[in-house]
């Protein structure tokens, strides 16, 4: 049986109903999760399904910049997904999902992370690829169905890949990401030089914290995890001003107690990358024990210095998982 026919039959078997189904990414939405929701909703619509894109929180500054540059509209926020039907993109962990997701009907999961803890007793379709961007997977979905990718959707997909692969420089980038990136760039007549310039501006926007509180900065790229019964939040930030990095680190430490209380977590961590190295911040005694067991003694209270850059998905979560399971 042809793979597109298998895919079509799998979708037909799902409990679509007649109400709108929402494609939605994780909380603290980044550019990849927003663009993936938009693009996959477009594909589902073209296949005849009543799907609309939503986001699970405020878009960050990089996403706002990308939306203006690539001319797409950021979806509205879905405040509560209870009793709704959802397609999850860029995540498969309930603790990272939109409020009410545990009481929603999950029809599909499209993701590029490890398999999470979403429990769905009814029929579900999942496509999980080990690639650098969820948008790379969604490009492949369009190709499987032989559905044309319009220029507007090509811009959306390329924005997501640029962001989540750091213009193909991130260590999680794969050959599949590179091929899709090239196809989309050619469709949009964008040169390597143009894309380098576009990404540099997106990167500047991502590091622009003007008008944001310290709590908003911390949570702008933070994800919740539950590992071996331990619930924690892990933030991930880049800050390139060496002269004020110490002040920035202590500002982030200063909001971690409130974030711990508000999020009902057991521990709080944050990876702050500065040029070619990282700082691991932690809060609570257990977080200190876990962080120091992985990264060594603290540089200062709540701060561990690491002499190379760390990636949340590839480096930090696997290391914390091993420590929490041991």
Return d(Cα 197, Cα 219) in angstroms, integer. Answer: 27
At residue 76, the pLDDT reads 98
CA dihedral (21, 27, 32, 38) in degrees, to 10, reads 20
d(CA 269, CA 291): 8
Q: Which residues of 231-257 are buried (b: 16+ CB within 10 A; e: fewer)?
A: ebbbbbbbbeeeeeeeebbeebbebbe
What pairs with residue 105 in β-bridges?
85
* Residues 19, 49: Cα–Cα separation, whole Å: 10
Find out if CATH 3.30.390.50 is the number for domain 214-325.
no
* For the chain, domain boundaries: 3-202, 214-325
From 104, 312, 101, 94, select the one nearest 221 (Cα to Cα): 312
- Whether the per-residue pLDDT at 262 is higher than 90: the answer is yes
pLDDT, averaged across the chain: 94
Express each pLDDT in 28-55 by its tens digit: 999 999 999 999 999 999 999 999 999 9
Number of Cβ within a 10 Å radius of residue 264: 9
Given a contact cutoff of 8 angstroms between Cβ atoms, the answer to whether 232 and 287 are in contact is yes
Summarize pLDDT for 93-103 with one digit per residue, the tens: 988 999 999 99
The tokens describing 163, both together, are 């962001």
pLDDT at 1: 45
Query: In this predicted structure, what is the pLDDT of residue 2?
Result: 58
Summarize the confidence of residues 236-256 as an average pLDDT: 94
Quick: pLDDT tens for 60-118. Answer: 999 999 999 999 999 999 999 999 999 999 999 988 999 999 999 999 999 998 887 77
The torsion angles phi and psi of 304, rounded to 5 degrees, stand at -120, 130
Give residue-wise pLDDT tens across range 115-146: 877 766 678 899 999 999 999 999 999 999 99
Encoding tokens for residue 39?
A: 């693009």
Nearest by Cα to 12 from 40, 48, 43, 38 = 48
Q: Is the pLDDT of residue 9 over 50?
A: yes
Quick: pLDDT tens for 267-277. Answer: 999 999 998 89
| Whether the Cβ atoms of residue 163 and residue 33 lie closer than 8 Å to each other | no
Confidence check: pLDDT of 5 > 80:
no
Provide the CATH topology of domain 3-202: inorganic pyrophosphatase (n-terminal core) (3.90.1640)
């Amino acid at each position: 049986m042809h793979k597109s026919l298998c895919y079509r039959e799998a979708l037909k078997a799902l409990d679509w109903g007649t109400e709108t189904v929402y494609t939605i990414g994780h909380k603290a939405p980044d550019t990849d999760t927003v663009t993936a929701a938009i693009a996959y909703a477009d594909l589902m619509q073209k296949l005849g399904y009543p799907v609309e894109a939503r986001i699970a929180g405020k878009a960050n500054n990089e996403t706002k910049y990308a939306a203006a540059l690539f001319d797409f509209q950021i979806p509205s926020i879905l405040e509560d997904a209870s009793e709704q039907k959802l397609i999850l993109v860029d995540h498969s962990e309930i603790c990272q999902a939109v409020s009410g997701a545990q009481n929603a009907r999950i029809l599909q999961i499209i993701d590029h992370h490890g398999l999470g803890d979403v429990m769905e007793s009814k029929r579900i379709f999942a496509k999980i690829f080990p690639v650098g961007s969820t948008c790379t997977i969604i490009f492949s979905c369009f190709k499987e169905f032989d559905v044309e990718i319009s220029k507007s959707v090509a811009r959306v997909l390329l924005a997501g890949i640029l962001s989540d692969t750091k213009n193909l420089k991130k260590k999680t980038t794969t050959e599949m990401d590179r091929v899709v990136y090239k196809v989309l760039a050619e469709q949009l007549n964008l040169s390597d030089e143009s894309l380098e310039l576009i990404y540099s501006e997106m990167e500047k926007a991502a590091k622009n914290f003007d008008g944001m509180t310290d709590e908003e900065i911390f949570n702008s790229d933070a994800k919740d995890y539950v590992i071996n019964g331990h619930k924690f939040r892990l933030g991930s930030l880049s800050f390139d001003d060496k002269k004020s990095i110490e002040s920035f680190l202590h500002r982030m430490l200063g909001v971690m107690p409130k974030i711990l209380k508000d999020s009902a977590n057991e521990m709080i961590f944050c990876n702050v990358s500065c040029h070619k190295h990282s700082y691991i911040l932690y809060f609570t005694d257990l977080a200190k024990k876990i962080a120091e067991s992985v990264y060594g003694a603290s540089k200062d209270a709540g701060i561990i210095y690491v002499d190379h850059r760390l990636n949340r998905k590839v480096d930090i979560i696997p290391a914390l998982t091993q420590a929490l399971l041991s």
